[in-house]
Chains A and B, each alone.
Chain A
Amino acid sequence: MGLSVKDKEIVVPGEELAQGMDYLPSYGTFRDGETIVAGRLGMVSAESRIIKLIPLAGKYLPKTNDTIIGRVFDVTMSGWMIDINSAYSAMLGVKDAVPEFVARGTDLTKYFSFGDYLVTRIINVTSKNFVDLTLKGPGLKKLGEGRIIHVSPHKVPRIIGKQGSMISMIKDSTNCRIVIGQNGIGWVQGEPEDELVAIQAIRKVEDESHTSGLTERIKEFLDRNKRQ
Protein backbone atom coordinates (compact mmCIF):
# COMPACT_ATOMS: atom_id res chain seq x y z
CA MET A 1 0.00 0.00 0.00
CA GLY A 2 1.15 3.53 -0.70
CA LEU A 3 3.96 4.92 -2.75
CA SER A 4 6.70 2.58 -3.94
CA VAL A 5 9.05 5.36 -5.01
CA LYS A 6 10.12 8.70 -3.62
CA ASP A 7 8.87 12.01 -4.94
CA LYS A 8 11.19 13.46 -7.64
CA GLU A 9 12.78 10.08 -8.24
CA ILE A 10 13.64 9.20 -11.84
CA VAL A 11 11.90 6.07 -13.09
CA VAL A 12 11.99 3.94 -16.21
CA PRO A 13 9.00 2.46 -18.10
CA GLY A 14 7.52 -0.53 -16.27
CA GLU A 15 8.63 0.54 -12.82
CA GLU A 16 6.02 0.23 -10.09
CA LEU A 17 5.10 3.61 -8.65
CA ALA A 18 2.36 2.86 -6.12
CA GLN A 19 0.25 0.05 -4.70
CA GLY A 20 -3.44 0.16 -3.98
CA MET A 21 -6.26 2.52 -4.85
CA ASP A 22 -5.07 5.50 -2.74
CA TYR A 23 -3.36 7.10 -5.73
CA LEU A 24 -4.59 8.12 -9.15
CA PRO A 25 -2.56 7.69 -12.35
CA SER A 26 -1.97 10.81 -14.44
CA TYR A 27 0.34 11.80 -17.30
CA GLY A 28 2.91 9.15 -18.23
CA THR A 29 1.55 6.52 -15.86
CA PHE A 30 -1.16 3.86 -16.00
CA ARG A 31 -2.98 1.50 -13.68
CA ASP A 32 -2.36 -2.22 -13.93
CA GLY A 33 -4.73 -3.94 -11.49
CA GLU A 34 -3.76 -2.75 -8.03
CA THR A 35 -0.54 -1.02 -9.04
CA ILE A 36 0.35 2.19 -10.84
CA VAL A 37 3.13 1.70 -13.39
CA ALA A 38 5.41 4.16 -15.18
CA GLY A 39 4.77 4.39 -18.91
CA ARG A 40 7.82 6.46 -19.84
CA LEU A 41 11.14 7.76 -18.57
CA GLY A 42 10.67 10.69 -16.25
CA MET A 43 10.67 12.23 -12.80
CA VAL A 44 7.91 11.24 -10.38
CA SER A 45 5.65 14.00 -9.18
CA ALA A 46 3.40 12.84 -6.35
CA GLU A 47 2.51 16.00 -4.47
CA SER A 48 -1.11 14.99 -3.94
CA ARG A 49 -2.99 11.77 -4.59
CA ILE A 50 -2.26 12.20 -8.29
CA ILE A 51 0.90 10.57 -9.57
CA LYS A 52 2.36 11.90 -12.79
CA LEU A 53 5.67 11.74 -14.59
CA ILE A 54 7.50 14.84 -15.71
CA PRO A 55 9.33 13.89 -18.90
CA LEU A 56 13.05 14.75 -18.96
CA ALA A 57 13.22 15.17 -22.72
CA GLY A 58 11.27 14.46 -25.84
CA LYS A 59 9.15 16.00 -28.53
CA TYR A 60 6.06 18.06 -27.90
CA LEU A 61 2.76 16.18 -27.66
CA PRO A 62 -0.18 18.31 -28.83
CA LYS A 63 -2.82 18.99 -26.18
CA THR A 64 -6.14 20.77 -26.60
CA ASN A 65 -6.11 24.44 -25.51
CA ASP A 66 -2.32 24.79 -25.61
CA THR A 67 -1.10 28.06 -27.06
CA ILE A 68 1.72 27.23 -29.42
CA ILE A 69 3.90 28.84 -32.07
CA GLY A 70 3.99 27.15 -35.46
CA ARG A 71 5.55 27.72 -38.85
CA VAL A 72 3.59 27.62 -42.11
CA PHE A 73 5.08 24.91 -44.29
CA ASP A 74 2.30 24.37 -46.78
CA VAL A 75 -0.58 26.37 -48.18
CA THR A 76 -3.54 24.27 -49.29
CA MET A 77 -6.90 25.08 -50.86
CA SER A 78 -8.65 25.43 -47.53
CA GLY A 79 -5.99 26.56 -45.13
CA TRP A 80 -2.43 26.22 -43.98
CA MET A 81 -0.36 23.30 -42.77
CA ILE A 82 1.62 24.26 -39.70
CA ASP A 83 4.80 22.70 -38.36
CA ILE A 84 4.34 22.65 -34.59
CA ASN A 85 7.68 21.12 -33.57
CA SER A 86 5.97 17.81 -32.93
CA ALA A 87 5.71 14.41 -34.55
CA TYR A 88 2.34 15.53 -35.89
CA SER A 89 1.65 18.47 -38.13
CA ALA A 90 -1.31 20.77 -37.65
CA MET A 91 -3.96 22.32 -39.83
CA LEU A 92 -5.21 25.89 -39.64
CA GLY A 93 -8.44 26.31 -41.61
CA VAL A 94 -9.35 29.57 -43.32
CA LYS A 95 -12.49 29.88 -41.19
CA ASP A 96 -10.45 29.77 -37.99
CA ALA A 97 -7.87 32.25 -39.20
CA VAL A 98 -9.38 35.07 -41.23
CA PRO A 99 -12.37 37.12 -40.05
CA GLU A 100 -13.59 38.09 -43.53
CA PHE A 101 -15.24 35.95 -46.19
CA VAL A 102 -12.71 34.26 -48.41
CA ALA A 103 -13.93 33.08 -51.80
CA ARG A 104 -12.99 29.63 -52.98
CA GLY A 105 -9.81 29.58 -54.99
CA THR A 106 -8.30 32.70 -53.36
CA ASP A 107 -4.52 32.71 -53.10
CA LEU A 108 -4.12 32.14 -49.37
CA THR A 109 -0.50 33.27 -49.34
CA LYS A 110 -1.75 36.86 -49.15
CA TYR A 111 -2.72 36.14 -45.54
CA PHE A 112 0.06 33.81 -44.41
CA SER A 113 2.86 32.49 -46.54
CA PHE A 114 5.57 29.87 -46.30
CA GLY A 115 7.87 30.36 -43.35
CA ASP A 116 5.55 32.68 -41.42
CA TYR A 117 5.35 32.05 -37.70
CA LEU A 118 1.94 32.17 -36.00
CA VAL A 119 0.83 32.13 -32.38
CA THR A 120 -2.10 29.74 -32.39
CA ARG A 121 -4.22 27.70 -30.02
CA ILE A 122 -5.04 24.03 -30.41
CA ILE A 123 -8.80 23.55 -30.60
CA ASN A 124 -8.83 19.82 -31.11
CA VAL A 125 -6.57 16.81 -31.25
CA THR A 126 -8.31 13.83 -32.84
CA SER A 127 -7.73 10.20 -31.92
CA LYS A 128 -5.60 9.94 -35.07
CA ASN A 129 -3.54 12.88 -33.82
CA PHE A 130 -4.73 15.37 -36.41
CA VAL A 131 -4.30 18.76 -34.82
CA ASP A 132 -6.69 21.64 -35.53
CA LEU A 133 -5.63 25.19 -34.76
CA THR A 134 -7.33 28.53 -34.43
CA LEU A 135 -6.16 32.12 -34.60
CA LYS A 136 -9.30 33.44 -32.89
CA GLY A 137 -8.52 34.47 -29.36
CA PRO A 138 -6.56 37.04 -27.37
CA GLY A 139 -2.89 37.24 -28.31
CA LEU A 140 -3.17 34.89 -31.28
CA LYS A 141 -1.63 36.43 -34.38
CA LYS A 142 1.04 36.29 -37.00
CA LEU A 143 4.44 37.15 -35.57
CA GLY A 144 6.36 40.03 -37.09
CA GLU A 145 9.98 41.07 -36.88
CA GLY A 146 11.84 39.29 -34.13
CA ARG A 147 13.70 36.11 -33.61
CA ILE A 148 12.60 32.55 -33.07
CA ILE A 149 14.18 30.47 -30.34
CA HIS A 150 13.78 26.80 -29.55
CA VAL A 151 13.59 25.45 -26.01
CA SER A 152 12.71 22.03 -24.64
CA PRO A 153 8.88 21.77 -24.55
CA HIS A 154 9.07 20.19 -21.09
CA LYS A 155 10.89 23.21 -19.68
CA VAL A 156 8.28 25.67 -20.91
CA PRO A 157 6.20 25.63 -17.67
CA ARG A 158 9.35 26.59 -15.73
CA ILE A 159 10.25 29.36 -18.17
CA ILE A 160 6.77 30.82 -17.88
CA GLY A 161 6.61 30.30 -14.12
CA LYS A 162 3.61 30.39 -11.80
CA GLN A 163 1.01 32.72 -13.36
CA GLY A 164 3.72 33.84 -15.75
CA SER A 165 5.95 35.19 -12.97
CA MET A 166 9.27 34.17 -14.52
CA ILE A 167 8.54 35.33 -18.05
CA SER A 168 7.06 38.65 -16.94
CA MET A 169 10.14 39.27 -14.79
CA ILE A 170 12.33 38.77 -17.85
CA LYS A 171 10.02 40.91 -19.99
CA ASP A 172 9.96 43.79 -17.49
CA SER A 173 13.69 43.76 -16.90
CA THR A 174 14.71 43.64 -20.55
CA ASN A 175 11.86 45.59 -22.16
CA CYS A 176 11.46 42.79 -24.66
CA ARG A 177 8.31 41.35 -26.10
CA ILE A 178 8.39 37.61 -25.55
CA VAL A 179 5.99 34.83 -26.51
CA ILE A 180 6.74 31.24 -25.52
CA GLY A 181 4.57 28.50 -27.01
CA GLN A 182 3.83 25.31 -25.11
CA ASN A 183 5.55 23.43 -27.95
CA GLY A 184 8.95 24.91 -27.15
CA ILE A 185 9.09 27.55 -29.87
CA GLY A 186 9.53 31.10 -28.62
CA TRP A 187 9.63 34.55 -30.13
CA VAL A 188 11.62 37.48 -28.75
CA GLN A 189 11.73 41.08 -29.93
CA GLY A 190 13.54 44.03 -28.43
CA GLU A 191 16.64 46.14 -28.69
CA PRO A 192 19.59 43.93 -29.73
CA GLU A 193 21.47 44.13 -26.40
CA ASP A 194 18.30 43.54 -24.37
CA GLU A 195 17.27 40.68 -26.57
CA LEU A 196 20.56 38.89 -25.95
CA VAL A 197 20.11 39.24 -22.19
CA ALA A 198 16.53 37.98 -22.41
CA ILE A 199 17.61 34.93 -24.39
CA GLN A 200 20.49 34.23 -22.02
CA ALA A 201 18.04 34.40 -19.13
CA ILE A 202 15.67 31.97 -20.85
CA ARG A 203 18.56 29.58 -21.55
CA LYS A 204 19.62 29.84 -17.91
CA VAL A 205 16.12 28.91 -16.74
CA GLU A 206 16.12 26.02 -19.18
CA ASP A 207 19.50 24.72 -17.99
CA GLU A 208 18.81 25.11 -14.29
CA SER A 209 15.09 24.32 -14.34
CA HIS A 210 15.45 21.48 -11.82
CA THR A 211 17.20 23.55 -9.13
CA SER A 212 15.54 25.48 -6.34
CA GLY A 213 15.95 29.19 -5.71
CA LEU A 214 16.02 29.76 -9.45
CA THR A 215 13.80 32.85 -9.44
CA GLU A 216 16.26 34.72 -7.18
CA ARG A 217 19.21 33.77 -9.33
CA ILE A 218 17.46 34.87 -12.52
CA LYS A 219 16.48 38.14 -10.86
CA GLU A 220 20.08 38.72 -9.85
CA PHE A 221 21.27 37.80 -13.35
CA LEU A 222 18.85 40.24 -14.93
CA ASP A 223 19.77 43.06 -12.53
CA ARG A 224 23.45 42.50 -13.20
CA ASN A 225 22.95 42.69 -16.97
CA LYS A 226 20.42 45.47 -16.96
CA ARG A 227 21.24 48.43 -19.15
CA GLN A 228 21.21 51.87 -17.58
Chain B
Amino acid sequence: MRNEKRAHVLRFLEKGLRFDGRKLHELREIKVDYGISKNAEGSVRVCFGNTEILAGVKMSVEKPYPDTPDDGNLIVGAELSPLSSPEFESGPPKSEAIELARVVDRGIRETKAIDTKKLCIDKGEKVWTSTIDLVTINADGNLIDSGALAAIAALRNTTLPHYDGQKVDYKKRTDTPLPIKKIPIAVTIYKIGPYFLVDPTNEEEDLVDARLTVTSSSGRISALQKGGDHPLTIEDVDRMVSLALEKAEELIKYL
Protein backbone atom coordinates (compact mmCIF):
# COMPACT_ATOMS: atom_id res chain seq x y z
CA MET B 1 0.00 0.00 0.00
CA ARG B 2 2.84 2.31 0.86
CA ASN B 3 4.25 2.02 -2.67
CA GLU B 4 0.90 2.82 -4.25
CA LYS B 5 0.47 5.84 -2.02
CA ARG B 6 4.00 6.95 -2.82
CA ALA B 7 3.35 6.66 -6.56
CA HIS B 8 0.22 8.76 -6.12
CA VAL B 9 2.03 11.44 -4.13
CA LEU B 10 4.80 11.53 -6.74
CA ARG B 11 2.24 12.12 -9.50
CA PHE B 12 1.04 15.13 -7.51
CA LEU B 13 4.53 16.43 -6.83
CA GLU B 14 5.37 16.13 -10.53
CA LYS B 15 2.63 18.67 -11.19
CA GLY B 16 3.92 20.87 -8.38
CA LEU B 17 0.95 20.09 -6.16
CA ARG B 18 0.43 18.61 -2.72
CA PHE B 19 -2.44 16.52 -1.33
CA ASP B 20 -3.94 19.55 0.37
CA GLY B 21 -3.63 21.74 -2.72
CA ARG B 22 -0.51 23.61 -1.61
CA LYS B 23 2.55 24.24 -3.75
CA LEU B 24 5.74 22.32 -2.91
CA HIS B 25 7.38 25.19 -1.02
CA GLU B 26 4.25 26.60 0.56
CA LEU B 27 3.78 26.66 4.33
CA ARG B 28 0.46 25.97 5.98
CA GLU B 29 -1.35 28.68 7.91
CA ILE B 30 0.77 29.56 10.95
CA LYS B 31 -0.57 30.92 14.23
CA VAL B 32 1.40 32.01 17.30
CA ASP B 33 -0.40 32.81 20.58
CA TYR B 34 1.63 34.12 23.51
CA GLY B 35 1.10 33.78 27.25
CA ILE B 36 -1.26 30.83 27.28
CA SER B 37 -0.12 29.45 30.65
CA LYS B 38 -0.12 31.52 33.82
CA ASN B 39 2.18 29.19 35.75
CA ALA B 40 4.99 29.25 33.22
CA GLU B 41 7.38 32.19 33.02
CA GLY B 42 6.91 32.20 29.26
CA SER B 43 4.52 30.21 27.13
CA VAL B 44 3.27 30.01 23.60
CA ARG B 45 1.01 27.95 21.37
CA VAL B 46 2.09 27.45 17.77
CA CYS B 47 -0.13 26.01 15.06
CA PHE B 48 1.05 24.94 11.61
CA GLY B 49 -2.24 24.01 9.97
CA ASN B 50 -3.55 21.12 12.06
CA THR B 51 -0.31 20.70 13.95
CA GLU B 52 -0.52 22.28 17.37
CA ILE B 53 2.34 22.45 19.85
CA LEU B 54 2.78 24.19 23.19
CA ALA B 55 6.00 25.47 24.68
CA GLY B 56 6.51 26.61 28.26
CA VAL B 57 9.57 28.04 29.98
CA LYS B 58 10.29 27.59 33.70
CA MET B 59 13.13 29.54 35.32
CA SER B 60 14.95 28.23 38.36
CA VAL B 61 18.17 29.00 40.21
CA GLU B 62 20.68 26.16 40.17
CA LYS B 63 24.35 25.43 40.45
CA PRO B 64 26.16 25.87 37.11
CA TYR B 65 28.07 23.07 35.41
CA PRO B 66 31.74 22.99 36.47
CA ASP B 67 33.01 23.70 32.91
CA THR B 68 30.75 26.76 32.48
CA PRO B 69 30.74 28.38 35.94
CA ASP B 70 29.30 31.71 34.80
CA ASP B 71 26.80 30.54 32.17
CA GLY B 72 23.09 30.00 32.67
CA ASN B 73 21.85 26.48 31.95
CA LEU B 74 19.42 25.42 29.24
CA ILE B 75 17.31 22.28 29.28
CA VAL B 76 14.90 21.34 26.51
CA GLY B 77 12.41 18.51 26.84
CA ALA B 78 9.77 17.33 24.41
CA GLU B 79 6.74 15.19 25.00
CA LEU B 80 4.85 13.59 22.14
CA SER B 81 1.56 13.20 23.92
CA PRO B 82 -0.40 10.02 23.04
CA LEU B 83 -3.48 12.23 22.63
CA SER B 84 -1.90 14.07 19.74
CA SER B 85 -1.47 11.18 17.32
CA PRO B 86 -2.39 7.49 17.07
CA GLU B 87 1.31 6.81 16.43
CA PHE B 88 2.46 8.05 19.83
CA GLU B 89 2.30 5.91 22.94
CA SER B 90 2.74 6.71 26.60
CA GLY B 91 5.88 5.66 28.43
CA PRO B 92 9.47 6.84 28.38
CA PRO B 93 10.36 9.17 25.48
CA LYS B 94 11.11 7.37 22.22
CA SER B 95 13.73 8.38 19.67
CA GLU B 96 11.44 10.88 17.89
CA ALA B 97 10.80 12.86 21.07
CA ILE B 98 14.48 12.80 22.01
CA GLU B 99 15.48 13.95 18.53
CA LEU B 100 12.94 16.78 18.60
CA ALA B 101 14.23 18.01 21.97
CA ARG B 102 17.86 17.73 20.92
CA VAL B 103 17.43 19.50 17.60
CA VAL B 104 15.57 22.36 19.29
CA ASP B 105 18.17 22.49 22.08
CA ARG B 106 21.06 22.48 19.63
CA GLY B 107 19.48 25.24 17.58
CA ILE B 108 19.19 27.55 20.57
CA ARG B 109 22.58 26.59 22.01
CA GLU B 110 24.67 26.81 18.85
CA THR B 111 23.08 30.04 17.64
CA LYS B 112 24.00 31.44 21.09
CA ALA B 113 20.47 32.78 21.22
CA ILE B 114 20.54 33.43 24.95
CA ASP B 115 23.23 35.63 26.47
CA THR B 116 24.02 33.04 29.13
CA LYS B 117 26.62 35.21 30.88
CA LYS B 118 23.86 37.58 31.92
CA LEU B 119 22.04 34.71 33.62
CA CYS B 120 24.87 34.24 36.12
CA ILE B 121 23.97 35.30 39.65
CA ASP B 122 27.00 34.09 41.62
CA LYS B 123 29.88 32.65 39.63
CA GLY B 124 30.32 28.92 40.21
CA GLU B 125 27.43 28.87 42.68
CA LYS B 126 24.17 30.19 41.29
CA VAL B 127 22.89 30.67 37.77
CA TRP B 128 19.47 30.85 36.18
CA THR B 129 18.36 27.64 34.48
CA SER B 130 15.84 27.93 31.65
CA THR B 131 13.81 24.77 31.13
CA ILE B 132 11.78 24.62 27.93
CA ASP B 133 9.07 22.01 27.70
CA LEU B 134 7.42 21.19 24.42
CA VAL B 135 4.12 19.30 24.35
CA THR B 136 2.28 18.26 21.21
CA ILE B 137 -1.47 18.82 21.24
CA ASN B 138 -2.08 17.62 17.71
CA ALA B 139 0.67 16.11 15.59
CA ASP B 140 0.05 16.55 11.87
CA GLY B 141 3.62 16.67 10.66
CA ASN B 142 6.56 19.08 10.80
CA LEU B 143 7.01 18.92 14.57
CA ILE B 144 10.64 20.03 14.38
CA ASP B 145 9.95 23.39 12.72
CA SER B 146 6.87 24.11 14.81
CA GLY B 147 8.63 22.98 17.99
CA ALA B 148 11.69 25.12 17.32
CA LEU B 149 9.53 28.15 16.53
CA ALA B 150 7.52 27.55 19.71
CA ALA B 151 10.67 27.25 21.82
CA ILE B 152 12.20 30.53 20.69
CA ALA B 153 8.84 32.30 20.89
CA ALA B 154 8.39 31.06 24.46
CA LEU B 155 11.89 32.24 25.42
CA ARG B 156 11.11 35.68 24.03
CA ASN B 157 7.88 35.67 26.04
CA THR B 158 9.70 34.85 29.29
CA THR B 159 10.17 37.26 32.19
CA LEU B 160 12.27 36.33 35.22
CA PRO B 161 10.51 35.62 38.52
CA HIS B 162 11.50 37.48 41.67
CA TYR B 163 14.64 36.16 43.41
CA ASP B 164 15.73 37.43 46.82
CA GLY B 165 19.06 35.60 47.00
CA GLN B 166 17.56 32.68 48.92
CA LYS B 167 14.64 31.41 46.97
CA VAL B 168 12.60 32.16 43.87
CA ASP B 169 9.15 33.64 44.37
CA TYR B 170 7.17 32.48 41.36
CA LYS B 171 4.13 34.53 42.42
CA LYS B 172 6.08 37.78 41.90
CA ARG B 173 7.10 38.39 38.32
CA THR B 174 9.73 40.99 37.39
CA ASP B 175 9.72 42.87 34.10
CA THR B 176 13.17 41.57 33.17
CA PRO B 177 13.00 39.56 29.99
CA LEU B 178 15.50 36.85 29.14
CA PRO B 179 18.59 38.25 27.41
CA ILE B 180 17.87 37.03 23.86
CA LYS B 181 20.60 38.00 21.40
CA LYS B 182 19.63 36.07 18.30
CA ILE B 183 16.63 34.28 16.95
CA PRO B 184 17.28 30.77 15.64
CA ILE B 185 14.79 29.54 13.07
CA ALA B 186 14.68 25.87 12.13
CA VAL B 187 13.44 24.91 8.69
CA THR B 188 13.27 21.28 7.66
CA ILE B 189 13.38 20.45 3.97
CA TYR B 190 11.92 17.07 3.10
CA LYS B 191 12.84 15.03 0.06
CA ILE B 192 10.46 12.63 -1.65
CA GLY B 193 11.89 11.11 -4.84
CA PRO B 194 13.54 14.01 -6.69
CA TYR B 195 11.29 16.65 -5.08
CA PHE B 196 11.92 18.97 -2.16
CA LEU B 197 9.12 20.20 0.02
CA VAL B 198 8.52 22.06 3.26
CA ASP B 199 5.99 21.70 6.07
CA PRO B 200 4.62 18.24 5.27
CA THR B 201 1.49 16.79 6.83
CA ASN B 202 1.58 13.45 8.60
CA GLU B 203 0.47 11.72 5.43
CA GLU B 204 3.44 13.10 3.48
CA GLU B 205 5.93 12.62 6.31
CA ASP B 206 5.40 8.84 6.15
CA LEU B 207 6.70 8.81 2.57
CA VAL B 208 9.75 11.00 3.07
CA ASP B 209 13.10 9.62 1.84
CA ALA B 210 15.34 12.08 3.64
CA ARG B 211 15.12 15.35 5.51
CA LEU B 212 17.49 18.08 6.52
CA THR B 213 16.85 20.54 9.32
CA VAL B 214 18.71 23.80 8.90
CA THR B 215 18.75 26.12 11.90
CA SER B 216 19.86 29.62 11.05
CA SER B 217 19.82 33.11 12.42
CA SER B 218 19.75 36.06 9.99
CA GLY B 219 21.14 33.91 7.19
CA ARG B 220 23.92 32.31 9.25
CA ILE B 221 23.65 28.54 9.65
CA SER B 222 24.21 27.34 13.19
CA ALA B 223 22.99 23.75 13.23
CA LEU B 224 22.05 20.93 10.89
CA GLN B 225 20.28 17.64 11.40
CA LYS B 226 19.81 15.00 8.75
CA GLY B 227 17.11 12.34 8.99
CA GLY B 228 15.56 9.60 6.88
CA ASP B 229 17.17 6.49 5.36
CA HIS B 230 18.17 7.91 1.99
CA PRO B 231 21.51 9.61 1.34
CA LEU B 232 21.79 13.19 0.10
CA THR B 233 24.18 14.39 -2.59
CA ILE B 234 26.15 17.62 -2.25
CA GLU B 235 23.83 19.26 -4.80
CA ASP B 236 20.83 18.15 -2.73
CA VAL B 237 22.29 19.71 0.40
CA ASP B 238 23.07 22.94 -1.45
CA ARG B 239 19.51 23.25 -2.72
CA MET B 240 18.00 22.30 0.62
CA VAL B 241 20.10 24.82 2.54
CA SER B 242 19.31 27.71 0.21
CA LEU B 243 15.61 26.82 0.30
CA ALA B 244 15.72 26.59 4.10
CA LEU B 245 17.34 30.03 4.41
CA GLU B 246 14.68 31.46 2.14
CA LYS B 247 11.88 29.90 4.21
CA ALA B 248 13.48 31.04 7.49
CA GLU B 249 12.95 34.65 6.43
CA GLU B 250 9.28 33.86 5.92
CA LEU B 251 8.95 32.04 9.26
CA ILE B 252 10.57 34.73 11.39
CA LYS B 253 7.74 37.12 10.45
CA TYR B 254 5.35 35.09 12.57
CA LEU B 255 7.22 35.83 15.79
Please state if B21 and A113 are interface contacts (CB–CB under 8 Å): no
Selected from B2, B5, B17, the residue in CB contact (under 8 A) with A196 is B17
Of residues 104 through 133 on chain B, the ones whose CB sits less than 8 Å from some CB of chain A are none
Q: Which of A114, A144, A192 contacts B15 (CB 8 A)?
A: A192
Taking CB atoms, residues of chain A closer than 8 Å to B94 are none
CB distance from B50 to the nearest CB of A (A): 13
The yes or no answer to A146 lying at the interface (CB within 8 A) is yes
Interface hits, A172-204 → B, CB 8 Å: 189, 192-193, 196, 200
Count of chain A to chain B residue pairs whose CB atoms are closer than 8 Å in the complex: 26
| A192 partner residues in chain B, CB cutoff 8 A | 11-12, 15, 17
Give the docked Cα–Cα distance between A113 and B3 (Å).
12
Residues in A68-127 with C-beta less than 8 Å from chain B? 113-117
Asked whether B4 is an interface residue with its Cβ less than 8 Å from the other chain, the reply is yes
**Interface residue A8 (Cβ < 8 Å from any Cβ of B):** no
Question: How many whole Å from B3's CB to the nearest CB in chain A?
Answer: 9
Name the residue among B1, B2, B11, B15 with the largest chain A CB count within 10 angstroms.
B1
Query: Is A216 in the interface zone, CB < 8 Å from B?
Result: no
Whether A32 is near chain B, meaning CB under 8 Å from some CB there, is no
Interface size on A, residues (CB 8 A): 14
B65 contacts A by Cβ under 8 Å: no
Query: Contact between A193 and B15 (Cβ–Cβ < 8 Å)?
Result: yes
User: In the assembled complex, how far is the CB of residue B22 from the closest CB belonging to chain A, in whole angstroms?
Assistant: 10
Q: Tell me whether A116 and B15 are in contact in the complex, defined as CB-CB below 8 angstroms, given that A145-B8, A146-B8, A196-B21 are known contacts.
A: no
A146→B6 CA distance, assembly (Å): 10
- Neighbouring B residues of A189 by C-beta, 8 Å: 8
Q: Nearest CB to that of A148 among chain B residues?
A: B5
Point out the residues of chain B lying under 8 angstroms from A147, CB to CB: 5, 8, 19
Residues in A lying within 8 Å of B, measured CB to CB: 113-117, 144-147, 189, 192-193, 196, 200
